[in-house]
Chains A and B, each alone.
Chain A
Amino acid sequence: MAVKAFDEMNSGTDGSIRVPYRGVADWLARTSPERVAATRAEVDLFYRRHGITFGAYGAAEGSETTIPFDIIPRVIAFDEWQFLHKGLSQRVRALNAFLSDAYSQREICRAGIIPEEQILMNGEFVAMAQGLQLPGGVHAHIAGIDLVRVGEKDFYVLEDNVRTPSGVSYVLENREVMMRLAPELFAAMSVLPVADYSEELLATLRSVSFSDDAEPNVVLLTPGHYNSAYFEHAFLADEMGIELVKGSDLFVDESRVFMRTPRGPQRVDVIYRRVDDAFLDPLAMRPDSFLGVAGLLGALRAGRVNIVNALGNGVADDKSTYTYVPEMVRFYLGEEPILQNVPTWRCDRPDDYKYVLEHLSEIVVKEVHGSGGKGMLVGPTSSKAEIEEFALLLKARPDNYIAQPTLSLSTCPTFVNQGVAPRHVDLRPFVLSGKKITIVPGGLTRVALKEGSLVVNSSQGGGTKDTWVLAPDQADGR
Chain B
Amino acid sequence: MLSSTAKNLYWMGRYLQRAKSTARLIEATQRMALQSRGEEAAGVAAIFGMEDEFRQSQAQGDRLASLIDFLVLDENNPSSIVNSIGAARRNAREERNNITVDVWESLNALWLELSARLRGNRATLDRGALIESVKKQAVMIFGAAQVTLLRDEANNFLQLGAFLERADNTGRILDVKFHLLRPDGNPSAEGLDYFAWSELLACIGAVRTYRRIYRSSLNPMKVAELMMLRRDVPRSVHHCLWMVDLNMRELADTYGTHGEADRLAGELHARLRYARIDRIFDVGLAKFLGGLRGDIGTLSDEIGRQFLLD
Contacts and interface: CB of A to CB of B under 8 A. Distances in A.
Contact of A225 (B94, B108, B307, B309): B94
Interface in B167-198: none
B4 A51 contact: no
A245 B153 CA distance: 17
A71 interface: no
A235 B254 CA distance: 27
Contact of B6 (A48, A224, A225, A262): A262
Interface in A225-241: 225, 231, 234-235, 237-238
A260 B105 contact: no
A253 to B, nearest CB: 15
Interface string A197-241: 000000000000000000000000000110000010011011000
A262 B93 contact: no
A189 B3 CA distance: 47
A260 B80 CA distance: 32
Contacts, number: 59
Chain A contact patch, size range: 20 to 34
A262 B255 contact: yes
Given A51-B104, A262-B251, A263-B255, A246 B4 contact: yes
B307 A262 contact: yes
A370 to B, nearest CB: 30
Contacts of A235: 96-97
B1 A261 contact: yes
A219 to B, nearest CB: 9
A262 B3 contact: yes
A30 interface: no
Nearest to A224: B94
Interface in B1-51: 1-6
Nearest to B107: A51
Given A50-B105, A51-B108, A262-B6, A238 B96 contact: yes
Interface in B115-170: 153
B4 A260 contact: yes
Given A262-B308, A263-B255, A234 B96 contact: yes
B93 A260 contact: no
* Chain B, interface SS category: helix
B82 to A, nearest CB: 14
Contacts of B112: 48-49
Contacts of B309: 262
Contact of B97 (A49, A224, A244, A249): A244
A107 interface: no
Chain B contact patch, size range: 20 to 34
B97 A238 contact: yes
A259 interface: yes
Given A262-B308, A263-B255, A49 B105 contact: yes
B63 interface: no
B62 to A, nearest CB: 32
B6 A237 contact: no
B300 to A, nearest CB: 15
A297 B309 CA distance: 27
Contact of B1 (A51, A238, A262): A262
A263 B306 CA distance: 10
Nearest to A48: B112
Interface in A38-56: 48-51
Interface string B246-289: 00000100110000000000000000000000000000000000
A249 B3 contact: yes
A372 B94 CA distance: 25
A225 B90 contact: yes
A225 B3 CA distance: 17
Nearest to B251: A262
A261 B96 contact: no
A350 to B, nearest CB: 52
Contacts of A116: none
B213 interface: no
A225 B91 CA distance: 10
Nearest to A234: B96
Of all A-B residue pairs in the complex, the 6 with the closest CB atoms, nearest first, are: A238-B97, A234-B96, A262-B307, A237-B97, A260-B3, A234-B97
Given A260-B4, A262-B1, A263-B254, 11 more contacts: A51-B104, A51-B108, A231-B96, A234-B96, A237-B97, A238-B97, A238-B98, A244-B98, A249-B3, A261-B3, A262-B6
Interface of B: 1-6, 90, 93-94, 96-98, 101, 104-105, 108-109, 112, 153, 251, 254-255, 307-309
19 contacts: A49-B105, A49-B109, A49-B112, A51-B104, A225-B90, A231-B96, A234-B93, A237-B97, A238-B96, A243-B1, A244-B97, A248-B4, A249-B2, A249-B4, A260-B4, A261-B3, A263-B1, A263-B254, A263-B255
